[in-house]
Amino acid sequence: MSEPKIPIPLELEPDEQLVLVGKRHWIELLQSSFVFLVIGAIAAALALIRAVGVEFFYLREGVTRPLTDPINIALSALLLVLVALWARGEAKKERRKPTPWRNPDIFYAIAIFALGVALWFRFSGGELIVVDPTYARPGDAINIVLIVTALVMLLAVAYLYNDWRNDVLIVTNKRVIYDEETTFIRHVRQQILIEDIQQVNVRADTYQATIFKYGKIIIRSLSLRTIEFDFAAKPREIEKAIMDQVRNLRRRQEPDLLRTLIEDQVYGNKQPQPSAPSIQVRTQRFPIPALYPPNPEIFPDRIVWRPSWVYVMIQLLRPLGGFAVTMFVLAVLVQFNLINGVALALLVSAALLFFGGWGWWIREALIHDNYILTRTDIIDVDRRPLGPENMRRAQLSAIQNISFDVSFVERLLGLGTVVIETGGAAGGKFTFDHVPDPRGVQATINDYLTDFRKHEKERQLQDAIALLKQYDLVQREHGEKMDRVMFEKAVEELIGRSLSKQSSDRSRPMSPNGAVYAGTEVRTHLRWMARQARRRAAIRALRERMRRNNHQHS
């Protein structure tokens, strides 16, 4: 079996292997290009008909055709079939809905009328289609328009074919990549790591999907990131390839995870802490860093976003515009000698103070409108100038949906709004307004959410190990279990006692089976000690129960 080829530029890691390349089914291409194909075919057919001189409904004077004409016989037979279907439908009319577009009898009646007109026209000596070279018009304006229309439709189909061919779903042993490229419009690439995949669904719930073997693949991750690949060819094979990689990875990881947790929690061998998830957003920097910090600011324990400096500059246009208008008015007043120098200086100073303070207030309000992401929480901090502050916080586990909204102008400016919907006690929406690269912000939050949910299982296992440790301590406190020192001491005493007893027996020399005998006695004694420990524990439990009963009766 030949190795699949990657139809798009993609760099694989050194130990990454290509497993499968999924493509869209040809049905998707047919559906998307059907209208263009029909329009192009009709335009080309009309151009050809007009080029060879075809005329429709041509009436010949003094010519009649009998009913036995072959074409008349075919039209009459078709007319009888339509009449029979119409009559059958009329018989069932009471059981049919009266809506005209759901009643096929209307269409039967229209077809019967059209066939009747065609038969009458032929009986009268007319021809439905006539080819006469004298009517050929290959190069007139209408034919040129028809040919151009057919060519444009052909180019549209070629464009759709290129778009269809470039949409692929690539499966490797480390990730699933969905690449969708629309030429001259957009290029979207999404990926989910194999270790983050939670569920793979195949939806093929129509008859045509079952017959032609295509379907929709939905891949869900631990976070809210989802890949949907519609009209996938051979979807079951793609699903199997993905789930095989997921199962193989988890078979390798789960024993390592359990061993690491036991080493960490039981024996105290601390393992290095996992690194923070990747940051997929581009950092935006103001030309003068002292006036506006990098966006986002990346710290070891958090990421801080704020509105883009482009948005800040747009907001500053209001005080700048107000100051410009004020200066223009003052210049007009000076031109007409309506104010003197002292008044002008006072007014300019007041304008500078007012509009400068307004601009400072806008900058301070926006620079302290912070959106913070940590390993466990999202935080929205809105601090007004000179003190007042409003802060909202929600755990990553409460996130239910992450989306971003980008208008046409915002797309040109490289900014947008990210909306995070949460549930539970912190239910509501966290809105990251006017942040740079909203798609990257969404991807970074998704990666942090994936990391958070991935370690939920680890935290559950840690709780289970902690519970077992506490249970072991309680058993030791109640005498139900000996520690290692007590056990080794008891074994030494029993072995010494057994060997001394055997050696002190003068009537029987020391046999080679002495160690076996000693071992048997040790095991017997240990069983006796275990029974005594269980008996003591049962007596303590009975006394405690009797004490509680006496206390209730008193």
Question: What pLDDT digit, counting tens, does each position of 282-326 carry?
Answer: 787 878 777 888 888 888 888 899 898 888 888 899 999 999 999
pLDDT of residue 513: 46
Q: State the pTM of this model.
A: 0.52
At CB < 8 A and 24+ separation, what contacts does 507-510 make? none
- Mean pLDDT over 260-267 rounds to 60
pLDDT of residue 412: 79
pLDDT of residue 152: 93
Gap between the Cα atoms of 109 and 513, Å rounded:
109
pLDDT of residue 174: 82
What is the per-residue burial (b if ≥16 Cβ within 10 Å, else e) of 146-185?
bbebbeebeebbeebeebbebbbbbbbbbbbbbbbbeeee
Cβ atoms of 233 and 25 within 8 Å: the answer is: yes
The CATH code of domain 18-24+162-264 reads: 2.30.29.30
Identify the band that residue 167 occupies on the pLDDT scale cut at 50, 70 and 90.
confident
Is the pLDDT score of 273 beyond 70? no
pLDDT of residue 510: 45
Identify the band that residue 521 occupies on the pLDDT scale cut at 50, 70 and 90.
low
Identify the band that residue 423 occupies on the pLDDT scale cut at 50, 70 and 90.
confident
Is the pLDDT score of 519 beyond 70? no
pLDDT of residue 459: 67
Gap between the Cα atoms of 57 and 45, Å rounded:
17
The CATH code of domain 297-457 reads: 2.30.29.30
Most confident of 67-76, 459-468, 496-505, 514-523: 67-76
Is pLDDT larger for residue 1 or for residue 264?
A: 264
pLDDT of residue 58: 67
